[in-house]
A = this chain, B = another copy of it.
Amino acid sequence: MTHTTERLQATYRVETPLSLEQAAATLAGEQSSGTFVAVPGESEELKRRFAARVEHVTPHETVESPSLPGGVAGERFQRGEITVSWSTENFGSNLPTIVSTLEGNLFELKAFTGLKLLDFEAPASLLEAFTGPRRGVEGCRALTGVHDRPMIGTIIKPSVGLSPDETAELVSPLIAAGIDFVKDDELMADPPHSPFNERVDAVMRLVNDHAERTGKRVMVAFNVSGDLDVMLRHYDKIAAAGGTCAMVSLNSVGLTAVKRLCEHGELAIHGHRNGWGMLTRHPYLGVEFPAYQKLWRLAGVDQLHVNGIANKFWEPDDSVVRSIASCLEPLGATRPVLPVVSSGQWGGQAFETYRRTKTVDLLYMAGGGVMAHPGGPAAGVVALQQAWAAAADGGTLIETAAANAEFRQSVERFGDEESKRLVAGGTR
């Protein structure tokens, strides 16, 4: 591979009725000159310099029926991986145009009955054009004053219907219990029953009071998703009220506006990935998380959702573990993005999460796991702290339940049958 340092290189999992080589060449053609016949002006010199290039082809198994409709007819369908590269001259540091190159019309091609972007590698010269997360893991630790353990967070539930004052009433005991982070739900930003500014004022009054008394400033991620000018105004409101974080629905708002938001000031940006299931749930369509997180990291997002171990959603644990690792991997000189572990979490998963990831560089979120704790939300926070202190110290769920009343209540409420039985047995 010559000139790799000046080329963007992407790897795809594919399925094709053609040979892998033919299919890869079709992709490379579509994603450089991109028409169905040779056209005037397309000299050999231009082609050499600007055409996409097939770098590797690795065959896997063949299958009898296609994963996606609309492909060229075939008897069998070859699966495999292909790697294609482009000169960065084509797009420079234009992030949406990089996305159009990596993820554009290629999903429309009849040459493929399956296509998924697995990952991409950008040369140093390209990465240097991006600031990346302004805060990242270390910056969020500095803002929350939490070190050597995961930041513990929760979501304000129910997501709909509460007034600003009712929201503040829910937040108050969480702050008192020592929570590090609270976030809005993605389904609510600035509705009539909870106007954004009033919600910020009501909640930040509590956060500021607590910070003055204790020195601990809870990070609250207010959902700014909306029209651009409103997003920026809401961002400014948060900053003026003493807040440290803004939340945005990445897929709904989109890359360009999120990048603009990240560049706007000093707040940490909490990236909610709702809609991500559509982009990744099929093994032969869409995008895998290692590629996805790089794009949002280049845009400057500081915190990014990754689901969690034994989550309530469809995603397998292996995928979650890989996502956490990829958030923390180097990407040029950019800061790592803080993985946000959530979905069906209640503290019981801390042990497996730590065993498999060996990191505490996490924002560990429990919604119901905190808010529906039998001892109330404050006990829910304490239970999570107990779980993580023990997990990072090599403890087990059973030992931790035996030694800590709040965590024990969590197991009794949220644990699986086996955990419940073991915990009940341990005290007999």
Contacts and interface: CB of A to CB of B under 8 A. Distances in A.
A75 interface: no
A108 B34 contact: no
B313 A105 contact: yes
A139 B378 CA distance: 59
B39 A368 contact: yes
Interface stretch (A144-152, A207-215, A225-233, A396-404): A225-233
B281 A285 contact: yes
B97 A50 contact: no
A63 interface: no
Contact of A50 (B40, B90, B110, B158): B158
Contacts of A107: 275-278, 281
A31 B187 CA distance: 7
Given A33-B159, A158-B42, A285-B285, A225 B278 contact: no
Contact of A71 (B90, B103, B251, B314): B314
Contacts of A426: none
Most buried by B among A31, A274, A343: A274
Interface residues of A, number: 102
A260 B231 CA distance: 11
Nearest to A258: B254
A394 interface: no
Interface in A239-275: 249, 251-260, 274-275
Contact of A252 (B96, B106, B227, B252): B96
A188 interface: yes
Contacts of A49: 161
Contact of A69 (B159, B166, B283): B283
B110 A314 contact: yes
A1 interface: no
Interface in A97-114: 97, 99-101, 103-110
A127 interface: no
Interface of A: 31-42, 46, 49-51, 68-71, 89-92, 94-97, 99-101, 103-110, 155, 157-162, 166, 170, 185-193, 223, 225-229, 231, 249, 251-260, 274-279, 281-283, 285-287, 307, 312-316, 343-344, 367-368, 371-372, 376-377, 414
